[in-house]
Structure 1
Amino acid sequence: MLYDLDGVIVDSKTTVIEALREVAGIVLGTLPPPEQVRRLAYLPPVQALTELGVPDADQAFDAHFDIAFAAHAGKSRLVAGMTAAMWRIRMAGRRQAIVTLQRRHRLDLLPLGEVFDLVDTIVCFEDAPPKPAPDPLWLALDRLQIPREQACFIGDTASDIQAGKAAGVPVFGATWGYRDAATLAEAGADGLLGEPADAVRLVLAKPTVTVGYDSSATGATVCSGDSP
């Protein structure tokens, strides 16, 4: 089992939003509205800063983001029920890995705690060309010694879905993360998970999640557990 980190395992939205606002405020001289930043928080930080109108976003990111992220990291929380699900998967003898766009030096700033004990490896931004490239997923599978057809990936952005598809790994959308069910369905997710416990049902091959998406409707249908 492969997982994205931000949004799937740890709810870091407030941390990321405040860090982006702070960096943008330093460069632009005024803080952008929280709602404007919230709409962009799912993007890689440099891209989000660019969308906020920050000139030389790469330079601004390198100069200020780590300090801002550290200042607000305490606002992040583990997603309720996620470690319990990971424990059950671990106790079933399945290997687990995290594939994230986070830089490795930021991991200790997040409240991961026992998550470190539940995964066999963590692939970070520095380890391979980042998602949506398939390379970090392939690296995780190589480290786990698991073939693609025996794996699955849980993500919460279109970039995650694209990476899973490109890697040849079934990919499921976590609807509790950064993006909603409709966005994940439109990106091509093989299924949607409504809650962390659905990951257990998925891995243990019980009746599990399916997704239906009607373009004429308002969004995707999330079916969890034994729902039809």
Structure 2
Amino acid sequence: MPAYRTAVFDLDGTLLDTLEDLHLSTNAALAARDMPTHTIDDVRRFVGNGIKLLIHRAVPAGTDAATEAAVYEDFCAHYAAHCEDHTGPYQGIPELLAHLRAAGVTLAVVSNKGDFAVQELVARQFPGAFDAVLGENEAAGIRKKPAPDMVRAALKRMGATPEGMVYIGDSEVDVQTAANAGCPCVSCTWGFRSVDELLAAGATTLVDTPAELERVLLGLDASAAR
């Protein structure tokens, strides 16, 4: 029997390496307004709390709200057209998902990325792999992470209960989300945050590869985590 009945995954930095496309779309939106661009490491630090906060962190301090909103719209248009140019699963993720499904684990994705991009990316990169997929949709009253709303909405869509659930992510936002949802968290070290940053955020279970994650989720080797 697997160690968990339900596994809820973050997307960016956990399942998909999206950083280069996020970086390019951020800089394209900034350059269109003659604003200074950022390094990929800057954008790595900016992501995790949704597109609007990514853009708020990327525009120069003191940018007026109307201009910031225009940069956001430019980003969304560019990212919608280019979100898969350099994006793909981390090595071992497709196999992990297949093995979890074969073991009867219910799977979901919850992401602070715009729902338009989440639905497209998951449908194209992981067809049929997930039982529920949610991107940012605060307009519907579902608060974004680290609030527990998205996790609860995913459970409702799947007809699942919080018992036997685990949350998997790569950032401090994910550690907080799991705590707010009242479930264990497994933190992936291959994503957008360093081990030190994860530990500082309160991460208690870390895995270095999807193969290690699989062993933890299926209860095959508890010592795989650190």
TM-score with structure 2 setting the length: 0.83
Determine what percentage of the aligned residue pairs are the same residue.
Answer: 24
Per the alignment, residue 104 of structure 1 pairs with 115
| Aligned residue in 1 for 2:136 | 125
AA in 2 matched with 1:84: E
Q: Which moved more, 1:26-35 or 1:63-72?
A: 26-35
Match in the other structure for 2:15? 9
Which structure 1 residue ranges, 4+ long, deviate > 4 Å from structure 2?
none
Measured in 2, the distance between the counterparts of 1:86 and 1:207 equals 17
Cα distance in 1 for residues equivalent to 2:89 and 2:172: 22
Out of 152, 156, 162, the position equivalent to 1:142 is 156
Give a deviation string over 1:123-168, Cα, whole Å, max 9, x none. Answer: 2211621001111111112223333230001011111110110010
Check if 1:93 corresponds to 2:104: yes
- The residue matched to 1:118 in structure 2 has which SS? coil
Greater relative contact order (Cα < 8 A, sep 6+): 2
Structure 1 CA distance, aligned partners of 2:57 and 2:96?
A: 36
- For residues 159-202 of structure 1, what are the alpha-carbon distances to aligned partners after superposition, in whole Å with 9 as ceiling and x for unaligned? 11101100101111111111112211221223011111122212
- The SS at the match of 2:59 is coil
What number of residue pairs does the alignment pair up?
212
Residue 205 of structure 1 aligns to a residue whose secondary structure is coil
Aligned with 1:192 (options 206, 209, 216): 206
Q: Identify which range, 109-118 or 166-175, moves more after superposition.
A: 109-118
| Pair 1:60 & 2:70 matched | yes
CA, structure 1 residues 90+76, in 2 after alignment: closer, same or farther (shift >3 Å)?
Answer: same
Query: How far apart, CA to CA, are the structure 1 residues paired with 2:160 and 2:81?
Result: 38
Residues 168, 185 of structure 2: 8 Å contact kept? yes
Question: Could you say if the C-alpha distance between residues 121 and 156 of structure 1 is closer, same or farther in structure 2, counting changes exceeding 3 Å?
Answer: same
Provide the alpha-carbon RMSD of the alignment: 2.3
Task: Please show how residues 150-161 of structure 1 align to structure 2 within 5 Å.
Answer: 150-161=164-175
Alpha-carbon distance change, 162 to 95 in structure 1, aligned in 2, over 3 angstroms? same
Shift of 1:46: 2.4
Could you tell me which residue of structure 1 aligns to residue 4 of structure 2?
none
